[in-house]
């Protein structure tokens, strides 16, 4: 007994036993583990824990975690931010291009409508002047756009109705009537954006004498008011009467070349004067 008590006292006085830092912390154990008293229960519980550790180890091996995942995630996140910035820049650029496109589109439509309205309003008076007769004020001509939203992408319907005739398609008019309709359109376009000089090549080929005279009078009035100057190639004497000067071309058989004759008709009530002969 004395030896046992001495041994107990020696154990209690052994170094480190009184140091709380060396004591084990069992606070994380479950209530069941804390109440284990028998050695058999302890061994069984130890086996359960070892099996659980082995199972977790196997699961961990199957998962095969990538220890560089955090760095790769940060790299991917940086690339995502860069892509988002590029996307935002692309959106802003696309928005600006869309705005510029719509602005140009609106200007294009505005300019087209400006020209179209002017030509549409002037073509009918010009056509009336070219088709006016003693017993009739003249025909009717008008233009209609087929696409009102984007008129420059669609066609333009041109309708001309000669005096004393019913409405028909432009394709069904005679050659002379088509010529007058075409000249009306040309002169209407000219009124919007004037050209200082015209060269008209046999525009009266399909016209009858009455229409030839009206076309000649219209050209004469345009020249008189300073709208434009023109050279008309024609074989119709009816048109010669409205000219300020005649230039004739003939072939000289002796010299085997062409020559020209000019005749000034500016003063129709004075003496006609031959202005000379040029090669």
Using pLDDT thresholds of 50, 70 and 90, give the confidence band for residue 10: very low
Higher pLDDT residue, 69 or 249? 249
* Coil, helix or strand at residue 65: coil
Give residue 136's pLDDT: 86
Domains of the chain: 91-193 (3.40.50.300), 195-239 (no CATH), 244-279 (no CATH)
Between CA 141 and CA 162 the distance in angstroms is: 8
- Indicate if the pLDDT at residue 66 is higher than 60: yes
- Mean pLDDT over 131-152 rounds to 90
Higher pLDDT residue, 66 or 197? 197
Residue among 139, 180, 174, 182 at smallest CA distance from 158 = 182
Sign of CA dihedral 192, 198, 201, 205: positive
Give residue 43's pLDDT: 76
Provide the token pair at 90. Answer: 């692309």
Using pLDDT thresholds of 50, 70 and 90, give the confidence band for residue 165: confident
Q: Quote the percentage of the chain above a pLDDT of 70.
A: 80
- Could you read off the pLDDT of 12-42 as tens digits, one per residue? 444 444 444 556 666 676 666 666 656 666 7
Give residue 145's pLDDT: 93
- Mean pLDDT over 151-158 rounds to 90
Between CA 171 and CA 173 the distance in angstroms is: 6
Beta bridge partners of 274: 263
- Mean pLDDT over 146-159 rounds to 89
CA torsion angle 63 67 73 76 (round to 10): -100
Residue among 183, 182, 175 at smallest CA distance from 215 = 183
Q: By mean pLDDT, which of 30-34, 122-126, 144-148 is the weakest?
A: 30-34
Helix residue ranges per DSSP H, the chain: 2-12, 31-34, 39-63, 69-131, 175-192, 209-224, 237-240
- Indicate if the pLDDT at residue 224 is higher than 70: yes
């Amino acid at each position: 007994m004395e030896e046992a008590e001495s041994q107990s006292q020696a154990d209690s006085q052994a170094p480190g036993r009184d140091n709380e830092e060396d004591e084990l912390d069992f606070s994380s154990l479950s209530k069941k583990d804390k109440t284990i008293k028998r050695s058999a229960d302890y061994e069984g519980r130890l086996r359960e824990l070892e099996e659980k550790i082995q199972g977790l180890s196997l699961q961990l091996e199957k998962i095969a975690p990538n220890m560089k995942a955090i760095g790769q995630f940060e790299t991917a996140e940086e690339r995502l931010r860069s892509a988002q910035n590029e996307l935002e820049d692309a959106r802003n650029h696309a928005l600006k291009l869309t705005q510029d496109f719509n602005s140009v589109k609106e200007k294009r439509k505005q300019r087209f409508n400006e020209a179209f309205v002017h030509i549409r309003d002037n073509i009918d008076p010009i056509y009336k002047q070219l088709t006016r007769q003693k017993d009739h004020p003249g025909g009717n001509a008008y233009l209609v756009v087929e696409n009102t939203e984007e008129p420059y992408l669609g066609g333009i319907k041109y309708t001309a109705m000669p005096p004393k005739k019913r409405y028909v398609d432009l394709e069904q008019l005679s050659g002379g009537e088509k010529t007058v309709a075409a000249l009306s359109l040309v002169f209407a376009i000219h009124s919007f954006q004037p050209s200082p000089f015209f060269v008209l090549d046999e525009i009266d080929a399909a016209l009858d004498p009455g229409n030839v005279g009206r076309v000649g009078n219209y050209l004469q009035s345009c020249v008189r008011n300073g709208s434009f100057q023109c050279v008309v190639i024609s074989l119709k004497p009816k048109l010669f009467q409205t000219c300020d000067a005649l230039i004739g071309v003939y072939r000289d058989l002796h010299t085997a070349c062409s020559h020209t004759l000019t005749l000034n008709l500016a003063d129709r009530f004075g003496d006609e004067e031959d202005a000379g002969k040029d090669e």
